[in-house]
Structure 1
């Protein structure tokens, strides 16, 4: 069943829900409307206990080129109070939290470029498979912003380690799929034509697992991997992003 979204293509296939970022003309840049639609899909999952696996992919040549820079520039130039930018940051955090805590096992299907917010969406998925032509980058610092999108910094550190992530953020260097696998940002690297088969090898056994056991396992793994919520500074990401943009704007006056 196809759903009527403007920035997503959603397909239900029994216990598998396929969600495709569907704005190829922008490189699937993550905009406010796309975040709203992702929240709508992810927010409906508690009412769909039959969905065991959610596969997140991107249409066109790239999985995701990052946050929508045109939208970001417009908001930062016209939103004197920072309220709209703060709301955008809050939505990003809610989407990433929903991917991590969904009862369904979330799987990222990556190809082409995976940049900034695209890395964040992928890293909050439980399993990640990438084509061998993938290129990754964390460009926030080079753009004059802190890495404060969706609460991704602690998740990246959990998955890859602080020293490795520090290098990638400080330098903003591009890295390929093989390097992403070394960093545990990818679980599988295959030729692009083999991506669907690689993901199918995961989904076939997952849909046969007990829904209760899957859900409990995700809760346990998230709890053991995460620091105390009280110590999670990424809760302030929206505030940090807004303050940073405001400071940059003041410095240009």
Structure 2
């Protein structure tokens, strides 16, 4: 998205800080609940990252008292400009499920900073991120089962069993019960728990480490992990990894990374992507 397009966003705030985008869901008066406008804006933002080599890391967070309370039921019940969850007939048209696809397809790692409620679609946004850091106030749940739907929605039945195992995933998806920050860390749903006021610094620590890697190496790591998660054969995974490593070692940034490591200095990378 261009700077002009970013300035026109209604439900998001995107702050570009060098190679890092800080994306804030920005409807704090409604706990950042999802509207059709937010769907369009999030979809356009993440779709735009596919061929963006300037942005290397994305941080996703919520303004105010929570991360995202899920679908804005009041807006949805008005019947105007309703949020779509299913794939449309035209490819790359904005829809809620498409945001999940776009988050996984974009090559930039996404760090979700979760505080307060992360419910339904907000829970799905957190799970579709690559790394989740929870604030002490974080409370997450599969809200779909509580409103007469299946708990299997927006990729939750894909992500949750892989992250926490079938038993805990079934518990959360069949009850809609909340999982608090401490237990989320215990079962591996989040990387760590920090005080709410420490979320930004926790992200910055991760970002600093990520930006010391080569741009191509970082992008290829996410891409390869995505593919490896779909494979069951070890030989196929190793072949995939070897193919990726060959691509990484054929760049000038690989040589610079080796020199910087040997000389104990920060690397100076030439490439912005790969």
TM-score using structure 2 length: 0.75
CA RMSD, Structure 1 to Structure 2 (Å): 2.0
Counterpart in the other structure of 1:166: 170
Q: Is the alpha carbon distance of 1:108 and 1:176 closer, same or farther for their aligned partners in structure 2, counting shifts above 3 Å?
A: same
Q: Does the aligned pair in 1 maintain the 2:50–2:105 contact within 8 Å?
A: no
Counterpart in the other structure of 1:68: 72
Counterpart in the other structure of 1:115: 119
The number of aligned residues is: 221
Between 1 and 2, higher relative CO (CA 8 Å, sep ≥ 6) is seen in: 1
Distance 1:216 1:167 in 2: 34
Q: Secondary structure at the residue paired with 2:10?
A: coil
Counterpart in the other structure of 1:198: 202
The structure 1 residue matched to 2:53, chosen from 46, 49, 54, is 49
Counterpart in the other structure of 1:127: 131
Show CA shifts across 1:101-143 (max 9, x none): 2111100011111111111000110011111111122121121
Show CA shifts across 1:77-96 (max 9, x none): x89xxxx66x4333122111
Counterpart in the other structure of 2:86: 89
Structure showing greater radius of gyration is: 2
Q: Does the aligned pair in 2 maintain the 1:181–1:187 contact within 8 Å?
A: yes
Q: Does the aligned pair in 1 maintain the 2:144–2:153 contact within 8 Å?
A: no
Show CA shifts across 1:129-180 (max 9, x none): 1111111221211210112432222112211212111001212212210111
Distance 2:229 2:11 in 1: 32
1:103 lines up with 2:107 in the alignment: yes
Q: Is the alpha carbon distance of 1:60 and 1:32 closer, same or farther for their aligned partners in structure 2, counting shifts above 3 Å?
A: same
Q: Does the aligned pair in 2 maintain the 1:158–1:226 contact within 8 Å?
A: no
The structure 2 residue matched to 1:27, chosen from 31, 34, 38, is 31
TM-score using structure 1 length: 0.81
Q: Which runs of 5+ in 2 are unaligned?
A: 88-94, 233-274
1:9 lines up with 2:6 in the alignment: no
Q: Is the alpha carbon distance of 1:112 and 1:214 closer, same or farther for their aligned partners in structure 2, counting shifts above 3 Å?
A: same
Q: Is the alpha carbon distance of 1:31 and 1:199 closer, same or farther for their aligned partners in structure 2, counting shifts above 3 Å?
A: same
Q: Is the alpha carbon distance of 1:174 and 1:88 closer, same or farther for their aligned partners in structure 2, counting shifts above 3 Å?
A: closer
